[in-house]
Structure 1
Amino acid sequence: MEQPFRSVPVGTAVAPEGDGNRPLRVVQWATGNIGTRALRAVIDHPNLTLAGVYVHSDDKAGQEAGELCGRDPVGVRATRELDDILALDADCVLYMPLRFDLDEVCRILASGTHIVTTRGEFHHPRTMDPAIRTAVEEACALGRTSIHSTGSSPGFITEAVPLVLSSIQRRLDHLAIDEYADLSQRNSPGILFEIMGFGGPADTFEEFRLAHVQSNFGPSLSALADALGLSLDSIEASGEVALARNPVTIAAGTIDAGTVAAQRITVSGMKDGRELMRFRPTWYCTGDLDADWDLHSTGWHISVDGDAPLDIEMRFPVPLDRMSEVSPSYTANRAVNAIPAVCAAQPGIRTTVELPLIVPEFS
């Protein structure tokens, strides 16, 4: 069934208070793979100044920020104390922890510091947990601050790119985004084994993963649909796994034969009884699987079915042995580039469609 849609104007930003020529003072929160890359980008940025670094481990506390990310010393030492961060009166915190903490987010926002985060809780305010949304919005009102979720996926590929592609449409019948990621060279055991479930039994996969992936990508699809005037009726998720036929050693550790070595999850945005848009990641650690899957190289495939059909391949032209070195940039850079727009936005939870186009500053 054809779905006509309307365009929606981008939200209006306001100029930040204070000297518009002053570099924005930024705190990097967490220094994992993504956080370390963001920290480096802030240090190198011509119009940002590193104000502080928050870390979660004792061995990183007290370390020089530059040394944490392979840069020369910059005169900033990492801390594990939230009060130390709040005392900095920074313009923005790049919030990139493994786990979300409502209390610390609200304290940061209420203190007068904006947040750009790569976590997925804030892509679609309307479908957030009402208690969490209320607490965050009250903190934003108190501090006159804004918070924005972004990254490569979700964010760039599920919101920014589809919005650009839709600008040449006057009818949208179906949007499909396929993501492919060869994770064999990603040295992140906590993420791959503990969060994503690789190396685990197949019979616990659905319980372990579907709700997590749906909660991360469903809100992003809902935000996109709302922006196009095509609000979804529901978000549905399904998934399947492929098992390793033989033991395989990857950068993060070992995956035993008969355990999960690849996963394919479909998050569907439903309208009027059919799938209107879909995000389907295929994440894998080896090609030696018990299933005949089409494993593309790392990147995205986007197809748009409408009155101006499109079929687009976006590949990461990076050798596999360098992927772990390069891939964090895809997520970290968009968050860093969004800082000026978020600091200039109206207070509240701001979505991609409410912010101006994210444009980087190189000099």
Structure 2
Amino acid sequence: MTDDRKLRVVQWATGNIGLRSLKAIIEHPRMELAGLWVNSTDKIGRDAGALCGLADTGIKATNAVDEIVALDADCVVHMPQGTDIDLLCRLLASGKNVVTTRDDFHHPPLLPSNVRQRVEMACREGSASLYSTGVSPGFVTEALTVPLLSLSRRLDCLTIDEFGDVSTRASPEMIFGIMGFGEEKLDFDPRRLDHLKANFGSSLAQVAAAAGISVERWNAFGEFGTARQRTEIAAGWLEAGTVAAQRITIEGLRDGRPVLRFRANWYCTRDIEPAGWDLRASGWRIVVEGDTPLEVAISFPVEPEAYAAFTPGLTAHRAVNSVAAVCAAPPGIRTTVDLPQIVARL
């Protein structure tokens, strides 16, 4: 921002991450909450402050799209469960910049041509920008890798390992229903692999294109680890022989070998078969192989029981902190490599 005017910001959706984002916008010294869109009918008409544990703001929640489109606002922090291109185009064409945590826009050349054309046209019409960000993919696959690569002149391989200990998550629906822990199957759903390859592959492809890293094709595969014995976790019981750990790899290949790689290591216990998996505490490890080898480890100094309350901020705060840079950017689909460094105004 080049002046002292507060940015008027709309929060779109109030799930776990959306509520954290809403709170951050209300408390931000250079932002003013302009509106709030909610999906749940029981939240309609409630004050935004009350929804996130703060004092009343005078801004009432609505699920009327027309009301949000008509608002005088600089930016929409967009955190829905799915991507609605028609809606995004309406917001952009109305002159509102959009920071979204949806993963569809990390690398615009990979978008379907008709979708990219529609979004870019809406950006031009409203003189607005769209930026897709988050923590993973996003921060760890883009914002953190770019400065690490700035120390290199030859890259052999960059590997990002994400570690997630979900044993303390007291959500049976998520652990057993969505993530598939406790099941006996040992085959990954190809649709799930394709989804993760699209999300993480597009994010890594953005960095590859900017750095001139040649990638011939992207590959995704998954591996399971099974519990060696019956194990109790916060969400329930894992029977011996059922899925207790998952490792999903998305890699960009050059000459048949990975040059960029993301591995998601999610687990409920470390006592698994096959042995030998390097399952660390929740966080990330980034290894750069080349003429300037590096290894960076990031962990979370909070109790595992606090992860459910702590982790929404990782995604929400990155999005909120991006608002000023996106509002100042030229119209169009913006990416981490063409935006200036995101600096938080605390």
TM normalised by structure 2 equals 0.93
Q: How far 1:255 moved relative to its partner?
A: 5.6
Gaps of 5+ in 2: none
Please tell me whether the aligned partners of residues 262 and 284 of structure 1 are also in contact (alpha carbons under 8 angstroms).
Answer: yes
Q: Specify the alignment match of 1:350 in structure 2.
A: 334
* Deviation of 1:340 (Å): 0.4
Counterpart AA for 1:277:
L
Match status 1:277 vs 2:257: no
Q: Deviations over 1:181-230 (max 9, x none)?
A: 11233456665555544455525633252111111100011001111011
By how many angstroms is 1:141 displaced? Answer: 1.3
- 8 Å CA contact retained: 1:206, 1:239: no
Instruction: Find out whether 1:116 has 2:99 as its counterpart.
Output: yes
CA 228–284 in structure 1, closer or farther in 2 if over 3 Å, else same: same
CA shift for structure 1 position 85: 0.9
3-state SS of 2:22 partner: helix
Q: Distance in 2 between matches of 1:360 and 1:87?
A: 29
Partner in structure 2 of residue 51 of structure 1: 34
Q: Are 2:117 and 1:158 equivalent residues in the alignment?
A: no
Correspondence list, 1:80-159, <5 A: 80-159=63-142
Partner of 2:189 in structure 1? Answer: 206
Q: 1: CA distance between counterparts of 2:99 and 2:183?
A: 33
Please say if residues 182 and 298 of structure 1, whose CA atoms lie closer than 8 Å, have aligned partners that are also in contact. yes
Deviation at 1:31, TM superposition (A): 1.1
Change (3 A) 1:41 1:93: same
SS of equivalent to 1:224: helix
Written as runs of structure 1 = structure 2, the 5 A alignment for 1:7-46 is 20-46=3-29
Q: Structure 1 residue 295: deviation in Å?
A: 1.7
AA aligned to 2:281 is S
Aligned-residue offset at 1:135: 1.6
Q: Deviations over 1:42-65 (max 9, x none)?
A: 111000111111111111222211
Q: Deviations over 1:84-143 (max 9, x none)?
A: 111212111111111111111111111111110111100000111222212211111111
Task: Tell me the matched-pair count.
Answer: 343
After TM superposition, the structure 1 stretch with the greater mean CA deviation from structure 2, 224-233 or 345-354, is 224-233
CA distance in 2, matches of 1:346, 1:32: 30
Q: Secondary structure at the match of 1:354?
A: coil
Alignment partner, residue 219 of structure 1: 202
Partner of 1:353, secondary structure, is coil
Residue identity matched to 1:322: A
8 Å Cα contact 2:17-2:315 kept in structure 1: yes
1:74 equivalent in structure 2: 57
- 1:20-72 superposed Cα distances (whole Å, 9 cap, x missing partner): 32111111111111111111111110001111111111112222111211111
Partners of 1:97 and 1:186 in 2: how far apart? 22
Residue 335 (structure 1) aligned with residue 319 (structure 2)? yes
User: What amino acid sits opposite 2:153 in the alignment?
Assistant: R
Q: Distance in 1 between matches of 2:5 and 2:170?
A: 38
Q: Distance in 1 between matches of 2:97 and 2:341?
A: 18
TM-score, normalised to structure 1, is 0.89
RMSD value over aligned CA atoms? 2.0
1: CA distance, partners of 2:136 / 2:122: 27
In the aligned structure 1, how far is the partner of 2:173 from the partner of 2:121? 33
Matched, 1:305 2:293: no
User: C-alpha deviations, 1:206-262, integer Å up to 9, x for none?
Assistant: 325211111110001100111101142211101112344436443xx4465355332
Matching residue's letter, 1:108: L
Using the TM superposition, name which of 89-98 and 200-209 deviates more. Answer: 200-209
Q: Rate the CA distance shift 1:263–1:59 in 2: closer, same or farther, 3 A.
A: same
Aligned in 2, Cα 1:63/1:213: closer, same or farther, shift over 3 Å?
A: same
Task: From the superposition, tell whether residues 80 and 259 of structure 1 become closer, same or farther in structure 2 (CA, over 3 Å).
Answer: farther
Secondary structure of 1:120's aligned partner: coil
For the residues of structure 2 that align with 1:128 and 1:195, how far apart are their CA atoms?
27
The question of 1:263 aligning with 2:254 is answered no
Give yes or no for contact 1:197–1:208 (8 Å, CA) kept in 2.
no
Paired with 1:110 and 1:194, the residues of 2 have a C-alpha distance of 39
1:106 alignment partner, SS class: helix
List runs of 5+ in structure 1 lacking aligned partners. Answer: 1-14
Query: What does residue 11 of structure 1 align with?
Result: none
State how far apart, in whole Å, the 2-side matches of 1:154 and 1:94 are: 17
Aligned partner letter, 1:34: I
For the 8 Å contact 2:18–2:79, the answer to whether it is kept is: yes
Q: Does 1:242 align with 2:261?
A: no
Distance 1:359 1:101, change over 3 A: same
Residue 73 of structure 1: how far off its partner (Å): 1.2
